Amino acid sequence: MQSLANKRLLLGVTGGIAAYKSADLVRRLKEIGADVQVAMTPAATHFVGPLTFQAVSGRPVRLELLDPNAEAGMGHIELARWADLLLIAPASADFIARLAHGFANDLLSTLCLATDRPIAVAPAMNRLMWRNPATRENCRILTQRGIRLWGPAAGEQACGEVGEGRMLEPLQLRDAAIAHFTTDGSLRDLKVLITAGPTREDIDPVRFISNRSTGRMGFAVADAAACAGARVTLVSGPVSLPTPPDVERIDVASAQEMYDVVMSRATAADIFIATAAVADYRPAARTEHKIKKTQETFTLTLERNPDILATVAALDHGPFTVGFAAETRNVLEYAEDKRRRKQLDMIAANQVGVPGSGFESEQNALHVLWEGGEKVLPLADKTQLGHELIALIAERYHARRH
Ligand code: PMT
């Protein structure tokens, strides 16, 4: 188990049912050496009593902005500077909105405004509140300012609905905190744009063409890039995976939508990594109504989708561009051909169509090629492989620039 010895965490607890999990989070952080102080919003105290947090943290809990007793000990400005990391868990929709707009109308929002330390936010709210354009915009503002978003996860919610908006579990938040402090910094402050998952090409309102990609490989690469200190934007096709910590995620469905989002951000990116399994073709026409079963045979006319990777690689002053090649045979030969044809800085080839790696698997193996070099990343969990690939990309990116 990794340690958070000598790390000081200020845990902000806001009003939400997930607040009960935050008491366990304090225990988990403390058992690996972190020094934790807790500040609660007034709403949070309706869910869990301050005494609980006092007992698990071993320190007085901070509640009021203008509390003469507390200010006599450690004033709120001092407290804002005491922490190595401010973690807000759970972060309600209301708190996220107040943070995005610079409010300072309670202790916790003031601490966030008065600190120059990293802030991480673990959202917890109903799925519709999470999906609401106002919350989406507030989260965009936060990530643009460098505030990390850890989660949320998808699943069953306290209100009985199912969807995205659950706070990450205490152990996941603890791991995110460990990753935050152990970043190797090899991509520090670089903007990394990543595509992941499948695309969906509509045939009619109920049918589409897609593929077997789960998004796992791309999400692992995004997670590893964030751990290496990059500012990561993940453009994802339809998948059911939680957003990795510190990653800005943009959901799309079709290849054309993925193309539009990527092209709007590609020139500002330092590195582009295309892990998505993008449909090469789409139906030439999408019918307005469900197609009826009237004919014995049915012919679907397809037209080419734009090639996102090739378009980014052809940009003047474009990013360092890394493609993937998914092949069922002649893997290296086809991958090298793609690398040359699309003028890529690197390509990661993987065998698909076999059990135990590639699509729909927890594991994968990659053979990475670049001009004058290659490296085999043997079969491993996609999480580990993501880190190995990012280390290699960082090495090649910096080598190219010197
Ligand atoms: O998602 P998982 O289940 O974890 O599976 C991972 C994976 C097998 C999908 C992944 O490792 C992988 O190989 N991704 C690339 C899949 C693919 O579409 O390969 P391709 O050889 O058809 O495409 C070559 C490259 O061009 C890819 O980088 C692809 O993202 C890109 N491309 C392709 C077509 C297109 N219109 N636009 C593109 O950008």
Gyration radius of the chain over CA positions: 23
Q: Which atom of ligand 1 is closest in space to residue 325's alpha carbon?
A: 21
* Residue whose CA lies nearest to ligand 1 atom number 5: 359
What's the gap in Å between 303 CA and the centre of ligand 1? 18
pLDDT for 1: 54
The CA distance from 349 to 10, in Å, is: 43
pLDDT for 114: 93
What's the gap in Å between 54 CA and the centre of ligand 1? 50
Structure token pair of residue 254? 């079709």
Structure token pair of residue 225? 């890039």
Please work out whether the CB of residue 276 comes within 6 Å of at least one atom of ligand 1: yes
Please work out whether the CB of residue 339 comes within 6 Å of at least one atom of ligand 1: no
The CA distance from 220 to 313, in Å, is: 23
With the CA atoms of 242, 247, 249 and 254 taken in that order, what torsion angle do they form, in degrees rounded to the nearest 10? Answer: -90
Separation of CA 291 from chain center = 37
Tell me the pLDDT tens digit for each residue of 165-215. 999 999 989 988 887 887 778 899 899 999 999 999 999 999 999 999 999
pLDDT for 66: 76
What's the gap in Å between 281 CA and the centre of ligand 1? 13
pLDDT for 182: 73
Tens of pLDDT, residue by residue, the chain (402 residues):
578 999 999 999 999 999 999 999 999 999 999 999 999 999 999 999 999 999 999 999 999 887 777 776 678 888 999 999 999 999 999 999 999 999 999 999 999 999 988 899 999 999 999 999 999 999 988 877 878 888 888 888 888 888 889 999 999 899 888 878 877 788 998 999 999 999 999 999 999 999 999 999 999 999 899 989 899 999 999 999 888 878 899 999 999 999 999 999 999 999 999 999 999 999 999 999 999 999 999 999 999 999 999 999 999 999 999 999 999 999 999 999 999 999 999 999 999 988 888 898 888 999 999 999 999 998 888 887 898 899 999 999 999 866
Please work out whether the CB of residue 109 comes within 6 Å of at least one atom of ligand 1: no
Q: Cβ neighbours of residue 372 under 8 Å, at least 6 residues apart?
A: none
Half-sphere exposure of 8 (CA within 13 A, CB side): 10
Please work out whether the CB of residue 7 comes within 6 Å of at least one atom of ligand 1: no
Q: Is 401 helix (H, G, I), strand (E, B) or coil?
A: helix
H or E stretch covering 322 = strand 320-327
Please work out whether the CB of residue 215 comes within 6 Å of at least one atom of ligand 1: yes
pLDDT for 402: 64
Could you give the residue numbers annotated as active site?
159
The CA distance from 86 to 223, in Å, is: 20
* Residue whose CA lies nearest to ligand 1 atom number 14: 275
Please work out whether the CB of residue 313 comes within 6 Å of at least one atom of ligand 1: no
Give φ, ψ of 378 to 5 degrees.
Answer: -65, 170
What's the gap in Å between 139 CA and the centre of ligand 1? 28
Cis check: omega of the bond before 378, within 30 degrees of 0: no
Domains along the chain with CATH numbers: 8-181 (3.40.50.1950), 191-401 (3.40.50.10300)
The 8-class DSSP code of residue 289 comes to S
What's the gap in Å between 275 CA and the centre of ligand 1? 5
**108 and 88 Cβ atoms separated by less than 8 Å:** yes
* Residue whose CA lies nearest to ligand 1 atom number 16: 277
Q: Which atom of ligand 1 is closest in space to residue 217's alpha carbon?
A: 4
pTM above 0.85, yes or no: no
pLDDT for 357: 85
The CA distance from 285 to 40, in Å, is: 55
Separation of CA 43 from chain center = 28
**Residue 297 CB coordination number (10 Å):** 4
The CA distance from 359 to 249, in Å, is: 21
How, if at all, do strands 231-236 and 247-251 pair? parallel
pLDDT for 100: 97
151-185 in b/e form (b: 16+ CB < 10 A) is: bbbbeebeeeeeebbbbbbbebbbbbbbbbbeeee
What's the gap in Å between 195 CA and the centre of ligand 1? 9
Pocket test for ligand 1, best of 214, 234, 309 (most atoms within 8 A of CB): 309
Please work out whether the CB of residue 305 comes within 6 Å of at least one atom of ligand 1: yes
Structure token pair of residue 148? 């990390």
Pocket test for ligand 1, best of 213, 260, 328, 347 (most atoms within 8 A of CB): 213
What's the gap in Å between 170 CA and the centre of ligand 1? 33
